[in-house]
Amino acid sequence: MMERKYRHDATITKVDHLDEDNVFLTLNAPELSELSKPGQFVELETSQFLNRPFGVAICDKKAGTVGIGVRKVGKGTKEIFEYKAGDKATLFGPFGYGFSISEKTSRAYVIGGGTGIYPLLFLLQELKRAGIKTYTGCGFQSLTHALMIDDFSHISDDYLTACEIGEADVSGTAVDALAELYERHGQSDGTIVYACGPIPMLKAVNAWCEENGIDAECSFEARMGCGFGVCRGCAIPVIRDGQPTYDRCCVEGPVFRRGVVDWEGL
C-alpha cells in the first residue's frame, strides 16, 4: 500500500491582497490538492513555533493547486502576509474531517463569518459540482470589511451579505442572512445548513436550526497547538452516547454535526 504523504513542499503561484488585513494565496501542491476535501485544513510552516492551521479554500485538482485565505492576526499570519509569488512554502495535511455531501442533499444554506468564509468557497465548488442548490450568506462587521462578494455571488444560486454597520443586502448578522434566504427558498427533504465562523455565530446558527428543525454541520476554528491530535488543546465539548465528553477539533473535527456538539458547554 502506498504511504500517505502529509508534508508538501509547495510553491506560491499567486498572491492576492484582498484588503490591508487579508491575503489569498494560491499554492502549487498537486498531492495536497488531490487529497483535500471541503472543510479539511492544512498547517502552514512559518518561522514561529507551531504551524498555523487554515481551511482549504480552493482546490483545483486539474491544475494541482490549493488556495488559502489568511487574515493578519499575530506573528505567524503577519509573516505569511509578506509572501510573494515564487516563494516556497511547506504545508502539512490535509487534516481532519470535512463537510459531508450526501446524495440525499437537495439544497444547502451556506453561512460564514470572519475567516470562516474562506473554506466555504471549496464547499460551494463541490456542492455545485454535485448539482445541489446553494443559498449563501456571509456576515461582516461592515461593508468595508466584506470580502470575496463576487466569488460567493458567482458560485451560489443566491447570495446575501449581512453587515451590522452600513448598507448591505441584510442589516444584521450572518444568521439574519440565513433567515432571509430561508424565507426566499424554504426547505425540502434533504435541506442542510453548513456553517463556519466564530463560536457566537455557530451558536446562533444552531439555535436557528433547532427552531426550524433543520440539520447542520458546523466547522470550528478552535485555537490549536500541535494540530495532529496529541496536545488536546483544541478540544470542544460534545455529547457521545448520551455522555458529555470532549472531541479534538483537529482530529474528530473541525466539522461537527450540530447534534453532537454540547452547545451549553461551549
Out of ligand FAD, ligand FES, none, which partner does residue 35 contact, by CB within 5 to 8 A per kind?
none
- In sequence order, what are the residues at sequence separation of 6 or more whose Cβ sits closer than 8 angstroms to the Cβ of residue 244? 237, 238, 262, 265
Q: Residue 237, interface with ligand FES (CB under 6 A)?
A: no
Smallest gap from Cβ 123 to ligand FES, in A, equals 22
The residue among 143 and 230 lying less far from ligand FES, judged by its C-beta, is 230
Using CB under 6 A as the binding criterion, the count of chain residues that bind ligand FES stands at 13
CA distance 251 to 255: 10
Q: Residue 101, interface with ligand FES (CB under 6 A)?
A: no
Interacting span for ligand FAD (CB under 6 A) from 11-19, 48-56, 181-189, 257-265: 48-56
Smallest gap from Cβ 66 to ligand FAD, in A, equals 11
Out of 38, 69, 113, 139, name the contact with ligand FAD by CB under 6 A.
69
- In sequence order, what are the residues at sequence separation of 6 or more whose Cβ sits closer than 8 angstroms to the Cβ of residue 198? 113, 114, 116, 221
Helix spans in 139-216 (H): 149-155, 174-185, 199-212
Out of 159, 227, 252, 255, name the contact with ligand FES by CB under 6 A.
227
Helix orientation angle between 199-212 and 174-185, rounded to the nearest 10 degrees: 30
139 and 200 in contact (C-beta within 8 Å)? no
The bridge status of strand 107-113 relative to strand 191-196 is parallel
Out of 29, 38, 54, 176, name the contact with ligand FAD by CB under 6 A.
54
CA distance 162 to 252: 31
Interacting span for ligand FAD (CB under 6 A) from 62-70, 153-161, 183-191, 199-207: 62-70
Annotate each residue in 206-235 with x if it binds ligand FAD (CB under 6 A) or - if it does not, as one string: ---------------xxxx-----------
Record the cell numbers describing residue 213, joined without a space: 428543525
The residue among 69 and 137 lying less far from ligand FAD, judged by its C-beta, is 69
> Among 234, 173, 235, which Cα is nearest to 205's?
173
Out of ligand FAD, ligand FES, none, which partner does residue 233 contact, by CB within 5 to 8 A per kind?
ligand FES
Annotate each residue in 119-158 with x if it binds ligand FAD (CB under 6 A) or - if it does not, as one string: x---------------------------------------
Using CB under 6 A as the binding criterion, the count of chain residues that bind ligand FAD stands at 25
Smallest gap from Cβ 77 to ligand FAD, in A, equals 3
> Among 128, 132, 159, 145, which Cα is nearest to 58's?
128
The SS3 of residue 248 is strand
CA distance 237 to 5: 31
The residues that touch ligand FAD, with contacts defined as CB under 6 A, are 41, 48, 50, 52-55, 57, 68-71, 73-77, 115, 118-119, 221-224, 254
